[in-house]
């Protein structure tokens, strides 16, 4: 098979479990566990043997029902959670030859501040809700090593303009903003350090249709203009259809199917994916 470029992010055998495990579940083949939960010790296997690659300028969608491990996967990728085992390689970090999961906390912070951006479903997690909007952006810029106040303000204004937040409201705290505006401030904050990789965790959930459309449009425009790589988690197949080039389907902590988005939606192979697609409104 011809490989014509290096992946921006490569994940190899990522596992994340909550709980210590017991002889009963440790001894058994994980694939033989009917659910990702051990009834004996209560250990939850949130992510099991996750393997995928994302390429430059690509949008990868991750779908699955609640509890399938999508958000845990995103938390692991953004180092919000420590992985139980597995490897990750980022092309912009040491030429993509070093496993970033094995790096020190300091290095992980460096990677997060310089090479990644994340937009959370809940703006309370991604923003300091009582800070000013531009202050939120400045926080990320300072973390990425910027110190020049004038330059940071100029960058903040540029980003807020890009996500259609009026400049005269830049000194207002996001707590006064609507849900859609809060998401847009989060997007601006996530983009402030020019990350090659953007992680979006259920960004449109809870927004009304009109705001959803404007957020989707914004993501698509930004992705095309900046040519960044995006991993987007959603349980809304409509969002995935609109945005993603390729899609992975997760169930009980495992990837059960992956392929081109239109192929996943029109010719799903796995029984669960068929069930999921049939539920599409």
185 is an interface residue for other proteins by CB under 8 A: no
Q: Of 6, 13, 217, 280, which lies in the binding site for other proteins, with binding defined by CB under 8 A?
A: 217
Q: Least Å distance between CB 55 and other proteins?
A: 6
Residue 87 interacting with other proteins (CB under 8 A): no
Task: Using the minimum distance from each CB to other proteins, give the nearer residue, 106 or 278.
Answer: 278
State the residue for tokens 């330059």. 151
Among 2, 34, 66, 150, binds other proteins (CB under 8 A): 2
Assess 205 for contact with other proteins (CB under 8 A).
Answer: no
Single out the residue of 219, 125, 116 nearest to residue 164, CA to CA: 219
Kindly tell me which residue out of 128, 162, 169, 220 binds other proteins, with binding defined by CB under 8 A: 220
Kindly list the strands in the beta sheet with 85-90, ordered across the sheet, starting from the edge strand earlier in the chain. 44-54, 9-18, 85-90
Residues 233-262 that bind other proteins (CB under 8 A): 241-242, 245-246, 259-260, 262
| Of 62-70, 159-167, 196-204, 212-220: span binding other proteins (CB under 8 A) | 212-220
Q: For other proteins, which residue of 24, 42, 275, 280 counts as binding (CB under 8 A)?
A: 275
Nearer to other proteins, 156 or 252 (CB): 252
Q: Please report, as ranges, the residues that interact with other proteins according to CB under 8 A.
A: 1-5, 55, 58, 213-214, 216-217, 220, 224, 241-242, 245-246, 259-260, 262-263, 266-267, 269-271, 274-275
């Amino acid at each position: 098979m011809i490989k014509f470029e290096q992946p921006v992010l490569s994940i190899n055998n990522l596992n994340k479990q909550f709980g210590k495990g017991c002889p009963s579940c440790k001894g058994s083949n994980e694939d033989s566990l009917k659910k990702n939960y051990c009834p004996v010790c209560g250990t939850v296997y949130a992510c099991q043997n996750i393997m995928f690659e994302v390429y430059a300028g690509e949008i990868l969608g991750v779908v699955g029902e609640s509890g399938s491990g999508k958000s845990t996967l995103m938390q692991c990728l953004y180092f919000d959670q420590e992985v139980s085992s597995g490897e990750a390689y980022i092309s912009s970090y040491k030429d993509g030859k070093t496993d970033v999961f094995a790096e020190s906390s300091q290095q992980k912070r460096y990677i997060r501040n310089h090479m990644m951006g994340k937009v959370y479903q809940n703006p309370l997690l991604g923003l300091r809700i009582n800070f000013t909007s531009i202050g939120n952006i400045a926080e990320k810029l300072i973390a990425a090593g910027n110190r020049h106040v004038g330059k940071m303000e100029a960058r903040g204004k540029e980003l807020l303009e890009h996500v259609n937040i009026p400049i005269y409201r830049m000194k207002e705290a996001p707590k006064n903003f609507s849900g859609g505006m809060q998401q847009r401030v989060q997007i601006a904050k996530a983009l402030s350090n020019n990350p090659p990789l953007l992680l979006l965790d259920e960004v449109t959930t809870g927004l009304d249709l009109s705001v959803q459309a404007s957020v989707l449009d914004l993501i698509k425009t930004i992705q095309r203009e900046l040519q960044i790589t995006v991993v987007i988690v959603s349980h809304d197949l409509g969002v995935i259809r609109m945005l993603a080039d390729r899609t992975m389907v997760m169930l009980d902590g495992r990837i059960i199917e992956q392929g081109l988005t239109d192929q996943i939606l029109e010719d799903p192979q796995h029984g669960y994916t068929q069930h999921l697609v049939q539920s599409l409104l």
